[in-house]
Copies of this chain bind each other. A is one copy, B any other.
Amino acid sequence: MTDLASTTAALAGLGLPHAVHAHAAADSFRAWADTVAAARPAGVAAVAPTKTLVLAPKRGTPALVVALDSTEFSIGALGKALGLKDARAASDDAVRALLRVDKLDATPFALANVADKSAVTVVVDRNVIEFNGHLAFRAFGADKSLLVEASHFKAFLDAQLGSFEPKDFAALLAGGAAPAPAPAAKAKKEASDEKEVLIGLTVKKNEDFPTWYSQVLLRTEMLEYYDISGCYIIRPWAYNIWKRIQQFFGPEIEELGVEDCYFPMFIPEKNLTKEKDHIEGFSPEVAWVTRAGQSDLAEPIAVRPTSETVMYPYYASWIRSHRDLPLRLNQWCNVVRWEFKHPQPFLRTREFLWQEGHTAFATKEEADVEVRQILELYRRVYEEVLAVPVVPGRKSEKEKFAGGLYTTTVEGFIPTTGRAIQGATSHCLGQNFSKMFKILMENDEGKRVNIWQNSWGLTTRTIGVMVMVHGDDKGLVLPPRVASIQAIVIPVGITAKTTEAERNALYAKAEEIVATLKKTGVRAKSDNRDNYSPGYKYNHWELRGVPLRLEVGPKDVAKNETRSVRRDNGVAAQLSLATLAEEVPALLQRIQDDMYAKAKAERDSRVVRLESWDKFVETLNNKCLVLAPWCEEVSCEEDVKERSANSAQGDEPVDDKAPSMGAKTLCIPFEQPAGGVKKGAKCFACDRKAVSYTLWGRSY
C-alpha cells in the first residue's frame, strides 16, 4: 500500500466501498482541505477532510493520530493527554520507517504496511468515526483524495487491528479521560537506560489477547514477522524450545525402534494427485513449483504438505516379507500448507516445522499399540516438558484424519479465550494407504497381504500453546525444562559509593554462582552489564520468562546467601550459597510442577460436565469446554455445530477474526467419567442413545 492503486485494491479486497476523488491540485494541506470540503463529487452528501499525523514520544511507542481537519489541538497537549512523554511530530525518516510511505502520504491505510501492529498506537478521534458522511484522505498526490464512509473506515481499522475503539479527543484534551495507551516507560521508573522503553508489554493478557500474544512473541525476540504473509522467523529464544522438545521426543522414539531419515520435499504432481481422498484435504493449499531458473518445468512439482505420497511408494518397494516389518521411520522437517485463513504465529502458519512418523506393521494389533505409545509421548511433551495439561482421546468420525482408520489426539485449552486447541495427533491409517499404494508383504504362509500403517505428527504449534497458557501480563513464563536460561544471576546493590573493587567482587561472585549451577546441570547465566540498572534487568528477564532470578548484593554475599525470585508466582526466598547446587535444581523442579498444577487446575475448572443441551451454549460462552454423553453420530455433531454457532452470535471471544464459531467434538477422552455413560442415558443433543462422554468446545 505504497501507492494509490495498491491502497484502493486493498480496500476492495476487504469489500470496503471507497472513491478516488480527482480535484484541483492543492499545494498545501490547508489548500487541500479547503478544496476537498468544497469540491464534493456527485452523490456524496458530506465530505470531511481528515488529518493524519505520527506522534513520536521521547520514550515508548509512536502514535498514529487521525482527526477531522476541523478538530483543533496542539501536538504537545494531545501527546500529554495520551501519556506520550515529550511527544513531537515524527520525522520524515521515522514516518517512512514505520509506515513505509512518505510523511505527506501518511494515511491510516498505511497501517497495512506495519507487520507488527504493536509497534504503533492508533488513536482516532470519535468525531472521525461518528462523522455522518465521507471522510477525505490525502492520497498520493496533490490532486487526488480518497473518500471513504466513516463506517467503512471503522471496518478497515477493525480488520487491521483486530478490534478498535476510538478516543474522545475533546474529553482527553479537557483532562476528562485516562490516557489511552499506558506506555511501558511509565510503569518502569526504576530503569535508567533509554532502551528500557522497548521493554515490557503495553496491554494485558485478559484485555487484548491478540495484541498481548503478538507483543510477547515480538518483544521476547521469540519471533519476527516476515515479508511473506503466514511465514515467520523463529528466533533462538523460541527455536530453543523446539530443540528441547526434540531432545525429549527423539530419544524416546528411538527407544521404541523408530529411525530418523529424510525424504525429498518435492512431490511430482501425478504422485500427489494419485489418491483423490487423501489429496482432497490438502490440494487447495499446496504450493507449486513450476519454474526452475528461466525454464518452465515439464510437470509442476508440489512442496510437501505432508509426506504420505512421498514415502509410501517406497514402502511398497522396500517391504517384501513380514521380516521387513516393522518399518518405522520419522523425519523432522518443514512442510507448507498455503492456507488463506488468517494466519497466527505458531498456531496457523504457511510453513511450519514438525516431525512426521510413518510406520508399517504386519498386524493391526502392533499398529494399535504404537498409536497409543506415541500419543502417550505427545501427552508427555505437553504435560511434562511444556507443563501444559492435555486431554488424550479419540477423534470423532467427522474430526478424524480422512485417509485413516482412526485418529487419537491430545487436546489443549487456552483459558483466556476459552478455546480448545488440537495438540498433536497419532493416526492408525489401517490398510487404506497400503491398498492405495499396494504395500504388500508375504506372510508366513507365503500369501501376499496388505500391511497396517500409522502416521503421527507434532508441530511448532506446541510453542504457541505453551506461550498462551503460561504467559502473564509481564510477558512470557517459561517452564524450566524448556528455558534456554533457567536461572539468571543479577548483581544488585551497586551505588555511587561502591568501589570498582567491590563491584568486581560482586560480578565475580555472580560468575561463581553461575559456574556452580552449570556444574550441576542448571542452565545459568549472569547479567553483569554495567550500563543497565538492576530494575531494567529484572524487567528484561521477566519479560523473557526466565524461571528463576538470583540477586547477589553485598549484604547477601556477607551472609553467604542469594535472594531468589520465581518468575511464575513472584515468590522470593533467601537461598544459602552453600547448598545452591541442591536447592536450585529442586526449586526449578518445583516451578515446573507448580506451573503444570496451576494450568491443570485452571483447565479442570473449565471443563463442565453436562447431561443435556440446556446450558451447552451458555457454558461455551463462559469460555468453558463441555463433557457430555453423546451418540457419536456424524449428523448429530454437524447439528450441534450449527446450533451452537447460531446461538453464539455476538458472544464470541474477540481474539480472532473468525466469525461466530460453532462447537465441535475435541475428543472422546480415553479416561471417561467414573462409571461411564449410565445405562439408557440419552445423547445430550439428540434423541439417540449416548455412547460415550465426549469433550466439546470452540476450537482453534
Q: Which of A302-323 contact B (CB under 8 A)?
A: 303, 313-314, 318, 323
Please, how many angstroms separate the alpha-carbon atoms of A271 and B226 in the complex? 12
Q: A233-B264, A264-B231 are in contact. Are A286 and B290 (CB under 8 A)?
A: no
Task: Knowing A284-B294, A287-B291, A292-B287 are in contact, say whether A264-B232 is a contact too (CB < 8 A).
Answer: yes
Residue of B nearest to A97 (CB): B317
Whether B264 lies near A226 (C-beta < 8 A) is yes
Q: Verify A288–B289 contact, CB threshold 8 A.
A: yes
Measured between beta carbons, the chain B residues less than 8 angstroms from A548 are: none
Q: Chain B residues near A303 (CB, 8 Å)?
A: 289, 303
Q: Return the chain B residue nearest A303 by Cβ.
A: B289
- Annotate A256-275 by CB proximity to B: 1 below 8 A, 0 otherwise: 00011111111010010000
Residue A293 interfacial (CB < 8 Å): yes
Given the known inter-chain contacts A236-B261, A285-B293, please indicate yes or no for A301 contacting B266, CB distance below 8 A.
no
Bound-complex Cα distance A294 to B231 (A): 20
A242, A288, A333: which has the most chain B beta carbons within 10 Å? Answer: A288
A277 proximity list for chain B (CB < 8 A): none
> Given A239-B260, A291-B287, A294-B284: A301 and B268 within 8 A (CB)?
no
Interface residue total, chain A, C-beta cutoff 8 A: 52
Residues of the B chain whose Cβ atoms lie less than 8 Å from the Cβ of A288? 289-292
How many angstroms from the CA of A389 to the CA of B316 in the assembled complex?
A: 40
Question: What is the CB-to-nearest-CB distance from A462 to chain B, in angstroms, rounded to a whole number?
Answer: 14
Instruction: For residue A330, give the distance in angstroms from its CB to the closest CB of chain B.
Output: 9
Mark interface residues in A229-241 (1 if CB within 8 Å of B CB, else 0).
0011111100110
A224 at the interface (CB under 8 A from B): yes
When distances are taken between beta carbons in the complex, the residues of chain B under 8 Å from A294 are 284
Interface assignment of A382: CB less than 8 Å from any CB of chain B: no
Output the nearest chain B residue to A336 by Cβ-Cβ distance: B265
**Is A96 close to B, CB under 8 A?**
no
A316 CA to B329 CA, complexed, in Å: 40
In the complex, A214 has a CB within 8 A of chain B:
no
Shortest Cβ distance from A333 into chain B, in angstroms? 7
A338 at the interface (CB under 8 A from B): yes
A448 and B287 CA atoms in complex are apart in Å by 41
A262 to B234, Cβ gap below 8 A? yes
In the complex, the answer to whether A265 meets B338 with C-beta atoms within 8 Å is no
**A333 touches which of B227, B271, B334, B531 (Cβ 8 Å):** B334
**CA distance in complex: A171, B659 (Å):** 82
Q: Is A283 an interface residue (CB 8 A)?
A: yes
A83, CB-defined interface residue at 8 Å: no
A524 → chain B closest CB, angstroms: 15
A351 within 8 A of B: yes
Residues of chain B lying within 8 A (CB to CB) of residue A291: 287-288, 290, 300
Contact partner, A292, options B286, B292, B314, B353, Cβ 8 Å: B286
Does B293 contact A284, Cβ atoms closer than 8 Å? Answer: yes
Contact present for A314 and B261 (CB under 8 Å): no
Choose among B231, B232, B268, B292 the residue that contacts A227 (Cβ–Cβ < 8 A): B268
Q: Are B290 and A228 in contact, with the CB atoms below 8 A?
A: no
A289 touches B292 (CB 8 A): no
In the complex, residue of chain B having the shortest beta-carbon distance to the beta carbon of A300: B291
Quote the shortest CB–CB distance from A210 to chain B (angstroms). Answer: 22
Q: Is A341 an interface residue (CB 8 A)?
A: no
Say whether B266 contacts A351, CB under 8 Å: yes
List of B residues within 8 angstroms of A284 by Cβ: 293-294
Beta-carbon nearest neighbor of A460 in chain B: B262
Does A398 touch B at the CB level, under 8 Å? no
Bound-state CA distance A403–B625 (Å) is 56
Closest Cβ of chain B to A166, distance in Å, is: 31
Decide if A204 is an interface residue (CB 8 Å cutoff). Answer: no
A587 → chain B, closest Cβ, in Å? 25
The yes or no answer to A243 lying at the interface (CB within 8 A) is yes
The reply to whether A243 and B260 form a contact with Cβ atoms under 8 Å apart is yes
Residue picked from A242, A338, A351, most chain B C-beta under 10 Å: A338
Q: Contacting A259 at CB < 8 Å: which of B236, B261, B292, B334?
A: B236
Docked pose: A286 CA to B292 CA in angstroms? 5
How long is the Cα–Cα vector from A488 to B232 in the complex, in angstroms? 45
Per the bound structure, the CA–CA distance linking A262 and B289 in Å amounts to: 22
Q: Which chain B residues border A236 with CB–CB below 8 Å?
A: 259-261, 329
Task: Give the CA-CA distance A242 to B285 in the complex, in Å.
Answer: 31
**Which of B239, B287, B301 is close to A261, meaning CB atoms less than 8 Å apart?**
B239
Alpha-carbon distance A340/B263, docked complex (angstroms): 21
Distance, CA A301 to CA B351, complexed state (A): 13
- B260 contacts A240, C-beta separation under 8 Å: yes
Chain B: CB-nearest residue to A313:
B227
A228-B264 contact, Cβ under 8 Å, with A236-B259, A259-B236, A314-B233: yes
Q: For A234, what are the chain B residues with a Cβ–Cβ distance below 8 Å?
A: 261-263
Other than the given A228-B268, A228-B301, A264-B351, 17 more pairs (CB < 8 A) read A224-B318, A227-B271, A228-B264, A233-B261, A233-B263, A233-B264, A234-B261, A236-B259, A236-B260, A239-B260, A239-B262, A283-B293, A288-B290, A288-B292, A292-B338, A293-B340, A303-B303
Chain A interface (Cβ < 8 Å from any Cβ of B): 224, 226-228, 231-236, 239-240, 242-243, 259-266, 268, 271, 283-294, 300-301, 303, 313-314, 318, 323, 329, 333-334, 336, 338, 340, 351, 353, 531
> Closest 7 interchain pairs by CB?
A236-B259, A292-B338, A231-B264, A284-B293, A288-B291, A234-B262, A287-B289
Task: Write 8 A-B pairs (CB below 8 A) sorted by A numbering.
Answer: A239-B262, A240-B259, A284-B294, A288-B290, A288-B291, A289-B303, A291-B300, A334-B334
